[in-house]
A and B are shown apart, each in its own frame.
Chain A
Amino acid sequence: MSVQEPHRIIGDGGDLPDYPVPDELGEKDLLELYRWLVILRTFDERAVMLQRQGRVGTYPMYWGEEGTAAGALFACEDSDWVFPSYRQNSVGILRGLPIATVLGWVRGYGGPAGFYNPRDYRLGPICVPISTHLPHATGVAWAAKIRGDRTASLAWFGDGATSEGDFHEGLNFASVFRTATVFFCTNNQWAISTPVTRQMATKTVAEKAAAYGIPGVRIDGFDPLACYKATKEALDRGREGAGPTLIEAFTYRIKAHGTADDPSLYRDEAETQKWLHLEPVGRMASFLRRLSILDDDKDNELRLEAKEMIAEGIRGLESLEQPGPEVMFDHVYASANPWTFTEGLEEVNSVARKPEPTPPQPPSPPSAGDVELTPESSSSTEEG
């Protein structure tokens, strides 16, 4: 069986050609999607920095996978439910989730400092266990179908998740009950140190769709517009009652699995370099420049705006207080606390607290001269 070439819209300015932009997207939309990409990129780079400074805990970076999150979300209606894995940890900020809340979660805060109400953003909680949120996405779209609503759902997950049982159970239920669910696999070819060839004997993730009698679509996961287009088509099909779609966004994990990981132990970083020129932020910027939609001024404006936005979020993080011991007990039950909690609170309140380690001072606010992202993502990067 030959491997299907991933669909793409944005070329690389060299051998890979550009294809037409979906009709429904105007210049304003394209700039907005680019703005989202810049926000996600800026968040990711800042979050890694915060981890290095000891101001947040272990952080799973997504550098290079911004297009899978932003592109797919851009295709969703505001009422559609989306379910992130930890690799889409900050996608909620594109729906108004406070940046400080996302960072608070990474800092290990619970309660209102790190958790949120999913119904406020149609956004599932960040799912740490692998693939277990797929049946949740199915359940939401199924309930919407029972209610007669047009609400659809989408879940992001990685190539490793396809080896888990809940991948099968989520897709199987969705296909049997024809729910409007998009299963969006970011196949970045690595699950910490485990290569995709050890996750599956199939050549692609997309072909697994055949087992469920549903469409399987393979796209270039570094291409935000391809991510958008495939998701939009899948959502449209779902809303028409045609059931779920499996999307494989074929990409590469440019960075480590997380801040505690060292990829040099298990892979050749020269291989990683080969994928860099495809990364989505610089690629989208170059594409918009080729279409004369983006210039230096606009690009700098968007990047500065994103930096200010994230800096404001970091200030929000720094203004959060370490939650007291009561947050361990708060809301474990929606009904009255069981008596064991009364005793637990008494005990924990009777001993002195170990103070939270003092993090370094926050950096000074960004200035107009402080708009460089890392070299790989610079807007002037147009490697062939």
Chain B
Amino acid sequence: MAELTMVEALNKALHEAFSADDRVVLLGEDVAQTGGVFRVSAGLLKEFGGERVIDTPLSESGIVGTAVGMSLYGMLPVVEIQFDGFVYPAFEQIIVHVARYGWRTGGECPANMVIRIPFGGGVRAPELHSDSPEALFAHSPGLKVVCPTTPSDARTMLLAAIGHPDPVIFMEPKRIYRAGREEVSDQMPIDLVSANGEASSILSTARLARSGTDLAVFAYGATVPLSVEAAEKMEAANGTSVRVIDLRSLYPLDVEAITSHASECGRALVVHEAPRTAGIGAEVSSLIHERVMLDLDAPVGRVTGFDVPFPQFANEDDYLPSVERITRGAEKVLSF
């Protein structure tokens, strides 16, 4: 057992996957020699060589497109998109090929790759280094979209994504890459080769991040620890008991967990950094209203980014959901 940050846990998972299956390759910009701009792939080049750990041209569509070909030939590509806002050139490959290849080939040749995307704001970065494009992918049939929040989940979910036969968009909340450490087991959590059923389950279930009874807060990525912090402050201030659920899977959503937590608490709030309109929060809110409306004491609330381009970083604290905004949003639902 070792205490690892999310970056270290992801790095561990990549080493484990490369060791377990020689079909695994990593493609991306600056992933080999430097180990990635966030060092997620540090050490891989030395251990597994330049044919499997590949520094590519600056060419996101080319990276994803050649990974489709590699997958057709039987490889298991892991693709790193350097920053969220750089994924747009690869959007066509992802939507028209990666997402559809399994369907288009009668299930014979799913594009079984993992596309890792460090995403979100809060790191004082230049334009297009802080976007949250996850809803674009969740709205694109054929993809699985997941987002881990803890180091241990990051490692297990990345291994599950690599072993999983479907393409997985793997959103990595870069703001909490090094925010904390957690014990990560030395045992392989899943067998990569026979991972299908188990991996599906790991990649489609939400996690209870904090117990509570008065309000269910649904969040993912960097907004999970913020929601937990808000919950603790509210409990200390006035005894309000707030439950926090880490969604983990953005497609498919864990509808059972979402409806049961909302139903049990009678009040619900969704939190994310991405813009509000047609975001993940809209879907979570709809599911709750459609299915358990009669169990609710208040309409589902949302605390999200605004419907604007992610701002220059001097304004990012104005844009991002904060503990204060989450608390206000919670109070609004609680006082309805």
**A151 CA to B73 CA, complexed, in Å:** 10
Q: A111-B106, A132-B93 are in contact. Are A146 and B68 (CB under 8 A)?
A: no
**A331 CA to B103 CA, complexed, in Å:** 5
Of B61, B102, B108, the residue contacting A135 (CB under 8 A) is B61
CB atoms of A173 and B59 under 8 A apart: yes
A110-153 interface (Cβ within 8 A of B): 110-112, 115-119, 124-125, 129, 132, 134-144, 146-147, 151, 153
Q: Report if B74 contacts A (CB, 8 A).
A: yes
Of A172, A332, A338, A340, the residue contacting B59 (CB under 8 A) is A172
**A147 CA to B52 CA, complexed, in Å:** 10
Most buried by B among A116, A124, A135: A135
Residues on the B chain within 8 Å of A330, using CB: 103, 106-107
CB atoms of A117 and B62 under 8 A apart: no
Q: A115-B104, A136-B68, A335-B165 are in contact. Are A169 and B92 (CB under 8 A)?
A: no
- The 6 A-B pairs at the shortest CB distance, nearest first, are namely A139-B69, A135-B65, A169-B62, A331-B107, A139-B66, A143-B73
Kindly supply a per-residue 1/0 record for chain A positions 239-283, scoring 1 wherever the CB is within 8 Å of any chain B CB and 0 otherwise.
000000000000000000000000000000000000000000000
Most buried by A among B25, B64, B97: B97
CB atoms of B106 and A173 under 8 A apart: no
For chain A, give the interface size range. Answer: 35 or more
**A173 CA to B109 CA, complexed, in Å:** 22
Residues on the A chain within 8 Å of B97, using CB: 132, 136
Listed A/B pairs (27) with beta-carbon separation below 8 Å: A115-B105, A115-B106, A135-B64, A135-B66, A136-B65, A136-B69, A138-B62, A139-B65, A139-B67, A139-B70, A139-B71, A142-B70, A143-B69, A143-B73, A166-B92, A169-B57, A169-B59, A172-B62, A173-B57, A330-B103, A331-B102, A331-B107, A332-B141, A333-B142, A333-B144, A334-B166, A334-B196
Q: A166-B61, A338-B251 are in contact. Are A140 and B70 (CB under 8 A)?
A: yes
Kindly supply a per-residue 1/0 record for chain B positions 155-187, scoring 1 wherever the CB is within 8 Å of any chain A CB and 0 otherwise.
000000000111000000000000000000000
What's the minimum C-beta distance from B299 to chain A, rounded to whole angstroms? Answer: 23
Q: Report if B121 contacts A (CB, 8 A).
A: no
Q: Report if A176 contacts B (CB, 8 A).
A: yes
Residues on the B chain within 8 Å of A132, using CB: 65, 92-93, 96-97
Residues on the B chain within 8 Å of A124, using CB: 72
Q: Report if A336 contacts B (CB, 8 A).
A: yes
Q: Report if B148 contacts A (CB, 8 A).
A: no
**A340 CA to B64 CA, complexed, in Å:** 27
CB atoms of A165 and B107 under 8 A apart: no
CB atoms of A334 and B110 under 8 A apart: yes
Q: Report if B255 contacts A (CB, 8 A).
A: yes
For chain B, give the interface size range. Answer: 35 or more
Q: Report if A170 contacts B (CB, 8 A).
A: yes
Q: A118-B108, A143-B70 are in contact. Are A169 and B142 (CB under 8 A)?
A: no
CB atoms of B72 and A81 under 8 A apart: yes
Q: A166-B61, A334-B110 are in contact. Are A142 and B105 (CB under 8 A)?
A: no
**A341 CA to B112 CA, complexed, in Å:** 20
CB atoms of B68 and A125 under 8 A apart: no
What's the minimum C-beta distance from B115 to chain A, rounded to whole angstroms? Answer: 14
B223-271 interface (Cβ within 8 A of A): 251-252, 255
Q: A135-B93, A331-B106, A334-B107 are in contact. Are A119 and B57 (CB under 8 A)?
A: no
Q: Report if B333 contacts A (CB, 8 A).
A: no
**A137 CA to B204 CA, complexed, in Å:** 33
What's the minimum C-beta distance from B208 to chain A, rounded to whole angstroms? Answer: 20
What's the minimum C-beta distance from B284 to chain A, rounded to whole angstroms? Answer: 14
CB atoms of B73 and A140 under 8 A apart: yes
What's the minimum C-beta distance from A186 to chain B, rounded to whole angstroms? Answer: 20
What's the minimum C-beta distance from A76 to chain B, rounded to whole angstroms? Answer: 16
Residues on the A chain within 8 Å of B189, using CB: none
Kindly supply a per-residue 1/0 record for chain A positions 314-348, scoring 1 wherever the CB is within 8 Å of any chain B CB and 0 otherwise.
00000000000000001111111011100000000
What's the minimum C-beta distance from B135 to chain A, rounded to whole angstroms? Answer: 15
**A335 CA to B107 CA, complexed, in Å:** 10
What's the minimum C-beta distance from B201 to chain A, rounded to whole angstroms? Answer: 9
Most buried by A among B71, B96, B106, B107: B106
CB atoms of A332 and B102 under 8 A apart: yes
A38-89 interface (Cβ within 8 A of B): 81
Residues on the A chain within 8 Å of B67, using CB: 139
Q: Report if B51 contacts A (CB, 8 A).
A: yes
What's the minimum C-beta distance from B27 to chain A, rounded to whole angstroms? Answer: 9
**A6 CA to B61 CA, complexed, in Å:** 32
**A114 CA to B56 CA, complexed, in Å:** 35
What's the minimum C-beta distance from A172 to chain B, rounded to whole angstroms? Answer: 6
What's the minimum C-beta distance from A316 to chain B, rounded to whole angstroms? Answer: 17
Closest to B101 in A: A125
Residues on the A chain within 8 Å of B103, using CB: 110, 115, 330-332
CB atoms of A334 and B92 under 8 A apart: no
Closest to B203 in A: A335
CB atoms of A166 and B70 under 8 A apart: no
Of A134, A165, A339, the residue contacting B252 (CB under 8 A) is A339
Q: Report if B200 contacts A (CB, 8 A).
A: yes
Closest to B92 in A: A132
**A141 CA to B104 CA, complexed, in Å:** 21
Residues on the A chain within 8 Å of B107, using CB: 330-331, 334
CB atoms of A119 and B108 under 8 A apart: yes
**A169 CA to B64 CA, complexed, in Å:** 10
Of B25, B65, B204, the residue contacting A170 (CB under 8 A) is B65
CB atoms of A335 and B200 under 8 A apart: yes
Residues on the B chain within 8 Å of A140, using CB: 69-70, 72-73
Residues on the A chain within 8 Å of B102, using CB: 331-334
Extra pairs beyond A111-B106, A165-B89, A333-B166 (5, CB < 8 Å): A118-B108, A118-B109, A151-B73, A334-B102, A334-B196
Kindly supply a per-residue 1/0 record for chain B positions 14-52, scoring 1 wherever the CB is within 8 Å of any chain A CB and 0 otherwise.
000000000001000000000000000000000000011
